[in-house]
């Protein structure tokens, strides 16, 4: 007969936190969200940590290099998606590591023989009013001039007028040579009252822009997640098929941490992958594993040498693993059991293996619940897919701006390495859907708003750190009627415009 667990499988929505005593020191400004990213021994510090407990999902529609920079700026870590060629993934990692805060690679570029109409279309596409005019129309081409909103008037100019006739030419621009520091660049911007400063190489090719509007932004980013060389920390996804070729390329590109991307991690395939990395690199290469939903799965991966372990099967908004295969577990139940096993493992071995809660996050308060239940950080897909920095396009659906979002188990992603269980190189059936999510603007604005809620709730529980929250948290299961009571009810809501 099968083993049958007596307790029902619960989700985050079925729990609430009971407030605890809050001292006068319990204010959001005093809350620390610093958390370990990889395992460490008792009495030691982890080799990698984060300033906020958020990482991005290893997904085509979520984690490119642009989002990696934005998330590291806020203090988290993005995991570049692995369902692409080794060369393409390594290039994304390298671009993230090469990014200099304040130095922006131009994404609005045009040739001098193009027209005002092309300028207008480019502005509509990128939303940026500063356009670099380069010899070949690329971000790395020889700089010939720039076009801003001050260089043309639609009411007085023909749309087919050539860019070279109205651009501000290079000889009239203030530029700076490659190697200029951010402080020097900002000094030039203020001295010459510029809105932007092109950084140009000795070969005359455009390297970066430094913008006046970014000055205050860089000043306030105190949470940036940086390595010892002041570069952004970035992660990368790997699979259990081509790891012998992919891992060395990603390490060479500068990846700080890797993660095995799999819908179910309690397998010999993950053990083989971890053994390869440990034999080749020892403990110098950090790698997470998963996903699991019980103590047995956690123990297996911890003993195999995983640096962190992901929890969750079938709880993602685009995941249909539970529907198609009948495997998984409610995220709250899975997390509570695994985190208990994590603490027992720490007591027995003196090694603390961080737990990542992956999936099941619908509302911001679910993040706080996940942390209270024992998670060291959460992995988010749908959440980050909504932002400007995700790799997908904005589309207009029924009058509303949306962004495309699809699962790695969908036919669109065609990520057979994640799901094939060692079988043939194809997807036999889908475990994910293709969808849209409401467009939500900039990552920084949304992350700061979300974490403000997390800090506030932690203060309600009398906790100023994540470990303190886990120690003090009191959780209660709620009934379906209680859930209804918790929202707006018995009123007529005003229509939101």
What digits encode the pLDDT tens for the residues 195-221? Answer: 999 999 999 999 999 998 777 666 677
Q: Which two tokens stand for residue 237?
A: 């996804």
Q: Answer with the residue of higher pLDDT: 423 or 355.
A: 355
pLDDT at residue 302, as a whole number: 98
Mean pLDDT of 328-357: 97
Q: How far apart are CA 89 and CA 93, in angstroms?
A: 6
The percent of residues above 90 in pLDDT, for the chain, comes to 77
- List the end-to-end C-alpha distance of the chain, in Å, as a whole number: 57
Q: Answer with the residue of higher pLDDT: 303 or 315.
A: 303
496 — pLDDT class (breaks 50, 70, 90)? low
Among 417, 413, 423, smallest CA distance to 392 is for 413
pLDDT at residue 411, as a whole number: 67
What is the overall mean pLDDT for the chain?
A: 92
The percent of residues above 70 in pLDDT, for the chain, comes to 93
Of 8-22, 151-165, 348-362, 425-439, least confident by mean pLDDT is 425-439
pLDDT at residue 447, as a whole number: 98
Is pLDDT above 90 for 192?
A: yes
Of 102-116, 328-342, 456-470, least confident by mean pLDDT is 102-116
pLDDT at residue 494, as a whole number: 84
Is pLDDT above 80 for 252?
A: yes
Mean pLDDT of 42-56: 98
- 121 by Cβ neighbours in 10 Å (0-12 / 13-18 / 19+) ranks as middle
Q: Are strands 168-169 and 286-292 parallel, antiparallel or unpaired?
A: unpaired
- 436 by Cβ neighbours in 10 Å (0-12 / 13-18 / 19+) ranks as middle
140 — pLDDT class (breaks 50, 70, 90)? very high
Is pLDDT above 50 for 416?
A: no
Q: Answer with the residue of higher pLDDT: 492 or 441.
A: 441
Q: How far apart are CA 108 and CA 110, in angstroms?
A: 7
Q: Answer with the residue of higher pLDDT: 314 or 444.
A: 444
What digits encode the pLDDT tens for the residues 214-244? Answer: 776 666 778 999 998 888 999 999 999 999 9
Active site residues: 319, 418
35 — pLDDT class (breaks 50, 70, 90)? very high
Of 213-227, 392-406, 480-494, least confident by mean pLDDT is 213-227
* 111 close to 123: Cβ distance less than 8 angstroms: no
Angle at 436 between CA 432 and CA 441, to 5 degrees: 130
What digits encode the pLDDT tens for the residues 450-485? Answer: 999 999 999 999 999 999 999 999 999 999 888 788
């Amino acid at each position: 007969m099968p083993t049958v667990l007596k307790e029902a499988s619960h989700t985050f929505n079925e729990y609430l936190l009971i407030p605890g005593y809050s001292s006068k020191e319990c204010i959001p400004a005093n809350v620390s969200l610093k958390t370990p990213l990889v395992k460490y021994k008792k009495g030691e510090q982890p080799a990698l940590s984060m300033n906020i407990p958020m990482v991005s999902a290893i997904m085509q529609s979520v984690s490119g290099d642009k989002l990696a920079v934005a998330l590291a700026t806020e203090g988290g870590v993005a995991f570049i998606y692995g369902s692409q060629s080794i060369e393409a993934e390594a290039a994304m990692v390298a671009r993230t590591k090469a990014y200099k805060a304040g130095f922006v690679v131009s994404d609005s570029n045009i040739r001098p023989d193009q027209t005002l109409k092309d300028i207008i279309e480019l502005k509509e596409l990128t939303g940026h009013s500063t356009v670099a005019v380069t010899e070949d129309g690329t971000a790395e081409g020889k700089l010939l001039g720039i076009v801003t909103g001050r260089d043309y008037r639609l009411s007085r100019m023909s749309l087919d007028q050539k860019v070279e006739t109205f651009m501000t030419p290079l000889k009239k621009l203030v530029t700076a040579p490659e190697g200029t520091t951010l402080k020097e660049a900002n000094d030039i911007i203020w001295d010459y009252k510029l809105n932007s400063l092109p950084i140009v190489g000795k070969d005359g090719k455009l390297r970066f822009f430094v913008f006046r509007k970014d000055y205050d932004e860089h000043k306030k980013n105190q949470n940036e997640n940086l390595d010892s060389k002041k570069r952004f920390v970035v992660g990368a996804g790997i699979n259990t098929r081509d790891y012998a070729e992919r891992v060395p390329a990603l390490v060479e590109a500068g990846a700080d941490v890797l993660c095995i991307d799999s819908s179910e991690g309690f397998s010999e395939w993950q053990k083989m992958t971890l053994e390869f990395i440990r034999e080749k690199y020892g403990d110098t290469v950090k790698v997470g594993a998963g996903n699991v939903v019980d103590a047995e799965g956690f123990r297996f991966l911890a003993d195999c040498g995983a640096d962190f372990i992901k929890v969750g099967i079938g709880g993602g908004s685009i995941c249909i693993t539970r529907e198609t295969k009948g495997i998984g577990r409610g995220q709250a139940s899975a997390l509570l059991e695994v985190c208990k096993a994590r603490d027992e493992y720490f007591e027995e071995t003196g090694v603390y293996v961080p737990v990542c809660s992956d999936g099941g996050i619908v509302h911001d308060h679910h993040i706080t619940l996940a942390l209270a239940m024992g998670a060291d950080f959460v992995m988010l897909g749908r959440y980050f897919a909504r932002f400007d920095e995700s790799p997908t396009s904005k589309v207009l659906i029924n009058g509303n701006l949306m962004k495309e979002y699809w699962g790695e188990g969908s036919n669109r992603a065609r990520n057979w390495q994640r799901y094939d269980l060692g079988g043939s190189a194809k997807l036999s059936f889908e475990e994910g859907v293709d969808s849209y999510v409401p467009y939500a603007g900039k990552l920084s604005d949304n992350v700061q708003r979300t974490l403000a809620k997390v800090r506030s709730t932690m203060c309600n529980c009398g906790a100023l750190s994540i470990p303190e929250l886990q120690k003090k948290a009191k959780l209660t299961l709620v009934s379906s009627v209680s859930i209804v009571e918790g929202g707006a009810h018995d009123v007529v809501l005003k229509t939101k415009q």
